[in-house]
Amino acid sequence: MPLPTPRNDPLFDQWAGMMPRLDRPALATKFVMALHDVSRRNPTSWRRISAIGALTGIKGADLERVVADVVAAGLVEQRADDPCLIILTNRGWDLASSVGRYGESVPLLTHRP
């Protein structure tokens, strides 16, 4: 039997330990869930976008796009005097609390700009 390759095994990425590329709603869900997790102890503290990006592995243009998406969806508020800081809105808290630990529910972001 030949070794699995991307051409002969549809699950090759899983075997190779690689994550498939997530779509925008999934990235937004992942980002909001991570922000929710780090904000549980002190929900009124502003968090650095770069720190949440590092936790989730989202970086560069994807991170900028995700932040724009979750702000536009009303899940996160970006600080006016320091746009590197964010905090969950009440809507973000409600939705993040209703999603299972591994995002078993519907994605948090339903519109696509």
pLDDT digits (tens, 9 = 90+) for 67-97: 999 999 999 999 999 999 999 999 999 988 8
Are the C-beta atoms of residues 93 and 15 closer than 8 Å to each other?
no
| pLDDT score for 5 | 53
- DSSP characters for 54-85? HHHT--HHHHHHHHHHHHHTTSEEE-SS-TTE
| pLDDT score for 112 | 45
28 has a pLDDT exceeding 50? yes
Q: What are the chain's domains?
A: 24-98 (1.10.10.10)
| pLDDT score for 16 | 46
pLDDT digits (tens, 9 = 90+) for 29-46: 899 999 999 999 999 999
